[in-house]
Structure 1
């Protein structure tokens, strides 16, 4: 499979200013999207995109740029959509973080923690608590060891099971994950 093409924030910003903006699909969780997103982008969370990619392909053309926090989830979304028959997608280089760093406009909502920060909090807390509990409860430290093994696997496989689980919590979900709402929005924005 080919590597997804990337688009720099500066080039995308220029296209937006010239009125030639591609369709922007933000694959972060609804909570992350509500915190900050590129004006005019549509939120299609990665888990929704994966589950309903065949349905979504019919609502997309080849002029699509995928956006996430840093680019990793967008690359996963590109692979899923390419497998469903939509080639030629692009990924925003550096994601929303790169977009903001370039000084491009962002629509802001209530502040929420992004997924990476949530993963660090949960993993670190489990390791800390089980490490301390291991002083009193023999073997409790092995839970922390399992978390460490999971994080190592996540780095090596470039996936994160803990992130997937956290994305399903009410804090990170929202009404936009319903496939009917997503496809209706995609139809109305073109």
Structure 2
């Protein structure tokens, strides 16, 4: 089985053997001068492959998470208490429409971050001056920006009464609250 890859298809209960191409001298994985030795080494490659419309976690984004006051953050557990208490609120998911269609929390309203400034009137109607707005995204990075935008817009849009960021986003939600929540 040297230089071959054995694949198993559990749906069809079949095996397939594929001949691997010869090693490339410039390959970052299989060459003699390999630079990728583990999955963590290739993290920057996989994050780049996901595209520009997802929440990345590079170090500048970690700085962005501190760009709003600490009191504007709530943990997923704190937000879950709001949900289960039945308190009226607006859950604003700022991911792209396509990402929102993949998975979302029940009751979430999707206004992508790119169009948030243009849809403030819609959000004002939903909030109705009394319902707090909780911002959410995939990893809690874009929602920080949305929280910042909305907290600044509250001066000109008084029916948006309060806004908070759900720290860690849907990734933290799946780890802290609902392990069965699908992640992509």
> Normalised by the size of structure 1, how large is the TM-score?
0.49
Q: Is the 8 A contact 1:27 1:45 kept in 2?
A: yes
SS of equivalent to 2:100: helix
Q: Which residue of 2 aligns with 1:69?
A: 138
Q: Give the equivalent residue in structure 2 for 1:88.
A: 162
1:17 aligns with 2:91: no
Q: Is the 8 A contact 2:93 2:136 kept in 1?
A: yes
Structure with larger Rg: 2
Number of aligned residue pairs: give it: 110
How does 1:9-158 map onto structure 2 within 5 Å?
A: 9-20=76-87, 22-54=89-121, 56-60=123-127, 61=129, 63-85=132-154, 86=160, 88-104=162-178
Structure 1: unaligned runs, 5 residues or longer: 114-190
> Which structure carries more relative contact order (alpha carbon 8 Å, separation 6+)?
1
Q: CA RMSD in A?
A: 2.7
**1:30: how far off?**
0.9
Once the two structures are TM-superposed, the CA of residue 106 in structure 1 deviates from its matched residue by: 7.2
Q: Higher strand fraction: Structure 1 or Structure 2?
A: 2
List gaps (5 residues or longer) in structure 2.
1-66, 155-159
Whole-angstrom distance in 2 between the partners of 1:44 and 1:26:
6
Instruction: Looking at secondary structure, tell me which structure has more helix per residue.
Output: 1
